[in-house]
Amino acid sequence: MTDQTEFPDNDDIHAAELVLGLASDDDRTAGRRRMATDPTFAAHVVFWQERLAAMADSIDPVAPPARLKQRMLAQVFPAKRVSILERVWLWQGISVAALLFAGYLGVQLLTINTQPNQQPAVLAAQLVSDTGPLQVLAVIEPVSHEIALRRIAGEARTDRSLELWAILPGQAPISLGVLPDSETARILVPAALRSQAAQFTLAITDEPLGGSPTGGPTGDVLAAGPMTTL
């Protein structure tokens, strides 16, 4: 181990105080900033961390009482209730246009009376096509069990309807309803399907006015996408 005398006195003292938790709030903040930009000072801190850690080698670990441990963890890592808006912003790979849909949702989980560790999962999908212009963002709102949809690009063909389908592995497509001409829509997920929503692949097909006459898709698949947990 490097000998302490190799370090300048002031830097060595400041590093030791930082590791021991003796530095003032201002000095601690300044010290952490300096560690990020000054490799030499960062080495001093590592030196003291290693030196002081060895002093605890002979101490037998003691498991804290469960209540104390939970209280400490709650103080160090306070739980934060996250809104759908925040989780949509964090969704990797989502387009800028799709992010605008977050404002349409207007659903804040911060107002829901749930336990911090029991936040509902939020599912979302981007329905796109490799060959056509249709793009739709779908978000399943976890409390109302509604699929909130926004059409970002494209529209129904003349004298035709857009129909939304839920596709589960190994099963035939299930119609969720005909989409209105408006850019936004809400469709209730049937109660029997809610527990399987995370496995959905959503698809939109081109159908006769009013929807498929057969109960299954009859037209082209204009856009599709799997559900992703936010």
Q: Does 206 or 71 have the greater pLDDT score?
A: 206
Sign of CA dihedral 32, 80, 185, 208: positive
Average pLDDT over residues 41-58: 71
- What would the two tokens of residue 130 be? 């490799």
Instruction: Answer yes or no: is pLDDT of 43 > 80.
Output: yes
| Residue 93: band (very low, low, confident or very high) from pLDDT cuts 50, 70, 90 | very low
Query: What phi and psi, each to the nearest 5 degrees, are found at residue 187?
Result: -130, 130
Q: What is the pLDDT averaged over residues 4-29?
A: 69
**What local confidence, expressed as pLDDT, does residue 212 receive?**
93
3-state class (DSSP) for residue 93: coil
The answer to whether residues 48 and 31 touch, using CB atoms and an 8 Å cutoff, is no
Question: Would you state the pLDDT for residue 56?
Answer: 57
For 105-151, how does the pLDDT look when each residue is reduced to its tens digit (9 = 90+)?
444 443 444 444 555 567 888 898 888 899 898 888 777 888 888 88
Mean residue pLDDT across the chain: 75
Q: What is the pLDDT of residue 126?
A: 87
pLDDT of residue 175 exceeding 90, the answer is yes
Contact yes or no for 202/164 (Cβ under 8 A): yes
Coil/strand/helix, residue 20: helix
Beta bridge partners of 174: 166
Alpha-carbon span 41 to 31, nearest angstrom: 9
Of 162 and 33, the structure prediction assigns the larger pLDDT to 162
Per-residue confidence (pLDDT) for residue 150, from 0 to 100:
86
